[in-house]
Chains A and B, each alone.
Chain A
Amino acid sequence: MECKITVNNKTIVAREGGSLLSALQQNGFKIPTLCHMNRFSPTGACRLCVVEVEGKQDLITSCSYPVEEGMKVSTNSQRVIRARKSLVELLLSNHPYDCLYCQRNGHCELQWLAEEMNVKERKYFAGKLSDFPDYSSTSVARDPAKCVLCSRCVRICEEVQLVTAIDFISRGNQTKVNSAFRKGLNVSSCIHCGQCIQVCPTAALVDISHLEKVQAALASGKKVTFAISPSVIASLTAELRLKPKDMVINRLTAALKRLGASMVFDMGTAIDINVMEEARQLAERIQNKEEKLPMLSSCCPSWVRYVGDARPHMSDHLAKVKSPQHIAGSLIKKVYAKDNDIPADDIYTVTVMPCVAKKYESSWEQNTHKGIAEVDSVLTVRELFRLLRSFGLSLEHMEEEKPDAPFSQSSAAAFKPGYSGGKAEAVARELFRIMGGKNKESFRFLQPKNLAGKREIHITIGRNTVGFAWVSSIAEAEKYLRELEDEKRDDIHYLEVMACLAGCAGGGGQPISRGFEQVRTRKKICIDMEKSGKPGHAAENPLAMKLFDKYHFKENMIWEEPE
């Protein structure tokens, strides 16, 4: 029910019973907050959103206070401003002095707040935190000294990803965010999705950077070969506020060539091969009426890890195919190296992904061959920007150059794994081709409005009705799988799961953005890019088709459970 409240002597309309903070924000009042996350229950942990309400003796946290008819609120009284400044000063009292060397310098919410509140000196001095930083994981690094205990990472890890790899340990001023038994993330239930990095306001959670390794490789004279994921292109287009037709891939190719890359490839071909192989296996499983249905997509390493950890009995259901990143890696180090007579260890493969879990995936033993890693380094979009910046390159003003042959072609299907539901659609179209359906272009999967939404679609191919479903986030996936098990349903044959909300568009390696606006933009650009006039179908990529037929190298394609 709507009601009227007075804010700073101005009357606004708000929903009665809703959170005061969102009512204020919707009406254009700027309220600072560190712990609030949309879609999550309020915690009132940071207390920065305090406002003064007439008739209340104390300041109240607007995030956890409901709107009441006729309430009189002041968001910028002297008392409120003083309280907020003190809060920031207290947060800074044990914060390290290393802003200049910090990965989040310039993108840090605490830094912004200190600037906004006009904090000019260290007013309170508290002892340094004695907890050790945790660099044990292959993808996520933790530095407890920079933690402000806002609980955003803890909530997203528990409520969205269901794994609770990090949680609050101990109590009071001893409270810390840590993994189970304080043993380090590498032996925790962490699935390496990197959502905690996305929500962290400071640099308490950052990715394990491969930037220095890449720079060293560039300086060493090795043939540094980049493979660019199409969802990175969508992300760059969104970040630079360009249009899909601006062909950022060409600008990026030129920029990477300038900083010393030997080759720049488009990962599209690898994605096409991955889609074709998944569809082939799916067709095989349906035709043989195998038990291993629904087939689970295996291109998201976080999901693969979760299945191995929490649902080991379903490991067989995963598609036994390398992920696009490692198809690209093995194509470069085996096919390309062999065709051009280059020793495989002279090539240094760098992939650029919207994901930190890909760093973890690149460390799996089955993704190496005779001691040579298929992918040597994985850069996130953030690291890519940093790399370009350090070489003084900007994508805004850059000439264009096409990615190198042979892996320069891709079908429009290559953009599909960039968002939740896309992979399922690409596999469905390919399955249509294999199983002899007609009118393969005639169906499109409708995307749900809800970012994490699950969706099911049944299509008839020949004499079979095949059920496709997709969800994003582990919590939704687990819920959906339990639903399938409880109802003993067998009409779903393919389930696509991406661990991040909205799929790779909301990946842990994307530029850090608060809220879901940027995620929606990236997803929209991915969908727009599919319409770029490329063939719409994985098998219509002639190169992918040729490679897929020629290198039906099963034993290298086989995917195994990581330890």
Chain B
Amino acid sequence: MESDLEHIFEKFPNGRREDLIPILQTVQDEKGFLSEQVIKDVGKYLDISINKIYGVATFYDNFRFGPVGKYHFRLCHGTACHVAGASTLLRELEKLLKVGTGETDQHGLFSLEVVSCVGACGLAPLVEVNDEYYTNISLDSLKELVKSIREKENNIL
């Protein structure tokens, strides 16, 4: 069966082992996450065991194995944000969004990811929603943010 990743593989004509991570990154940029089928196709192309690829991909936090929600929350948990109370915010955010860290809710609306320092320590604590930064957040502003999104989506859950 022809893989639908051929156009990506064409960019890496030699198919060497060291192309693995760039290929995975390109695939994730296009597909949003790494599905089992994608990993199998990449394994076939590079002649690497799928378990090896899965092992490499799980080593890095950047790779995802499931689709993200319409609103993808990325909470910074670097040192500065941690000192500013990111742990409390994370617990609160999990309750508000009704998803665990690294998960996507069943409606495909919200997903939550914890990231290391995003380099905006002066604005800590902060959360990034679909590439938009919300800085100096507090428990109240977080509630407000989630509520506004829910209202926009008419989701009263």
Which size bracket describes the interface of A in this complex?
Answer: 10 to 19
Task: Provide the B14-58 mask, 1 if CB < 8 A to any CB of A, else 0.
Answer: 000000000000000000000010010000000001111011001
Label chain B's interface by main secondary structure: helix
Q: Specify the chain A residue showing the minimal Cβ separation from B36.
A: A181
Query: Across the interface, do B59 and A180 meet the contact criterion of CB distance under 8 Å?
Result: no
Residues of chain A within 8 A (CB-CB) of B50 are: 180-181, 189
Question: Cβ of A166 < 8 Å from any Cβ of B?
Answer: yes
Q: How far is the CA of A188 from the CA of B39 in the complex (A)?
A: 14
Complex partner residue of A170 from B36, B39, B52, B58, CB under 8 angstroms: B58
Residues of chain A within 8 A (CB-CB) of B52 are: 158, 164, 167
Question: Cβ of A168 < 8 Å from any Cβ of B?
Answer: yes
Question: Cβ of A552 < 8 Å from any Cβ of B?
Answer: no
Shortest distance between the CB of B46 and any CB in chain A (Å): 13
Q: How far is the CA of A181 from the CA of B65 in the complex (A)?
A: 9
- Count how many pairs of residues, one from A and one from B, have CB atoms less than 8 Å apart in the complex: 38
Q: Specify the chain A residue showing the minimal Cβ separation from B59.
A: A171
Tell me the residues in window 153-207 of chain A with beta carbons closer than 8 Å to chain B beta carbons: 158, 163-171, 179-181, 188-189
Residues of chain A within 8 A (CB-CB) of B39 are: 180-181
Shortest distance between the CB of B116 and any CB in chain A (Å): 12
Query: Across the interface, do B51 and A165 meet the contact criterion of CB distance under 8 Å?
Result: yes
Shortest distance between the CB of B39 and any CB in chain A (Å): 8
Query: Across the interface, do B59 and A163 meet the contact criterion of CB distance under 8 Å?
Result: no
Shortest distance between the CB of B113 and any CB in chain A (Å): 15
Q: How far is the CA of A167 from the CA of B56 in the complex (A)?
A: 9
Q: Specify the chain B residue showing the minimal Cβ separation from A179.
A: B51
Query: Across the interface, do A164 and B51 meet the contact criterion of CB distance under 8 Å?
Result: yes
Residues of chain B within 8 A (CB-CB) of A165 are: 51
Query: Across the interface, do A169 and B54 meet the contact criterion of CB distance under 8 Å?
Result: yes
Query: Across the interface, do A169 and B55 meet the contact criterion of CB distance under 8 Å?
Result: yes
Q: How far is the CA of A188 from the CA of B43 in the complex (A)?
A: 14
Complex partner residue of A171 from B36, B51, B58, B65, CB under 8 angstroms: B58
Q: List 30 A-B contacts (CB under 8 A).
A: A158-B52, A163-B49, A164-B49, A165-B51, A166-B51, A167-B49, A167-B51, A167-B52, A167-B54, A167-B55, A168-B55, A168-B59, A169-B54, A169-B58, A170-B58, A170-B59, A171-B58, A171-B59, A180-B39, A180-B49, A180-B50, A180-B51, A180-B54, A181-B39, A181-B50, A181-B54, A188-B51, A189-B49, A189-B50, A189-B51
